[in-house]
Amino acid sequence: MRLIFIGDVIGKAGRRAVREYLPELREAFKPDLVVVNGENAAGGFGITEKIFDELQDSGADVITLGNHAFDQREAMVFIERTDNLLRPVNYPAGTPGKGAGVFTTQGGQQVLVMNVMGLVMMNPLDDPFAAVERELSACPMGVGCDAVIIDMHCEATSEKMAMGHFADGRASLVVGTHTHIPTADHHIFPGGTAFQTDAGMTASYDSIIGMDKEEPLNRFLRKIPSGRMIPALGDPTMCGVAVETDNKTGLALNISPIRMGGPLQAVLPDF
């Protein structure tokens, strides 16, 4: 099976990159499932139903969120009628929406996709490891599904790596989001789980983690906010990860970063 994960889409520039590059990538790589993190898609903060539909129309099969999941208040309503929009699975009971789902590919394969949020330097939610354990136990790879993708949305690289090792051998891919910078550590763990600490952002890299440089610089230099953070509008890059799995086990055979457009060195999967 071929899987694609696209990192945090930020504002108009990020959405433009998805519109321009994801159809091309789908045509070239022929993925069975595409997961896109869209938690910054609406002006850098959250997601709207219109933008959710736009990402789907561009080729996203499943859209994950994170700490900005409900910054746009309408998300609390439309997430309830949208099976393929996932907020962190470790939100407390009663939070609108769901954090995991099993999705059927065109070939009839079943993929468990999970969004989970870390705790280090993040909002205090339920234990992410216990939440992931519940989902993996309820739908084990090779029994309840053919592949597993975990979007680990958190600040600390150590917490992302810990989740990767925690799920090693039980997931096809564990990939980090939230810190917006693509890491160079894509590899397959000993148990067969593909891992990358951060997929990177889909946004303009002529920015400070996707935001126009003026306001973040002002806050660093003067320590006083002078306005709202606004997503940068420069030439965007679409960043992500591609994984090929063994159809019998669901474990990873290959992993490659994805970088298309903008100033970063282009990388496409070659398997």
Is 227 within 8 Å of 8 (Cβ atoms)? Answer: no
Strands of 19-172, DSSP E: 33-37, 62-64, 85-86, 100-104, 110-117, 147-153
Q: Nearest CA to 203 among 256, 241, 148, 240?
A: 240
Strands of the chain, DSSP E: 2-6, 33-37, 62-64, 85-86, 100-104, 110-117, 147-153, 173-177, 187-188, 194-196, 203-204, 236-245, 252-260
Our CA angle for 242, 265, 157, nearest 5°, is 60
Beta-carbon contacts of 183 under 8 Å, excluding residues fewer than 6 positions away, are: 157, 176, 196, 197, 198, 200
For the purposes of burial, counting CB atoms within 10 Å of the CB of 123, is it exposed (0-12), middle (13-18) or buried (19 or more)?
exposed
Residues facing 149 on adjacent strands: 113, 173
**Residue 68 is a catalytic residue:** yes
Residue in 68, 153, 180, 186 annotated catalytic: 68
Instruction: Note the Cα 216 to chain centre separation in Å.
Output: 24
Residues involved in catalysis: 68
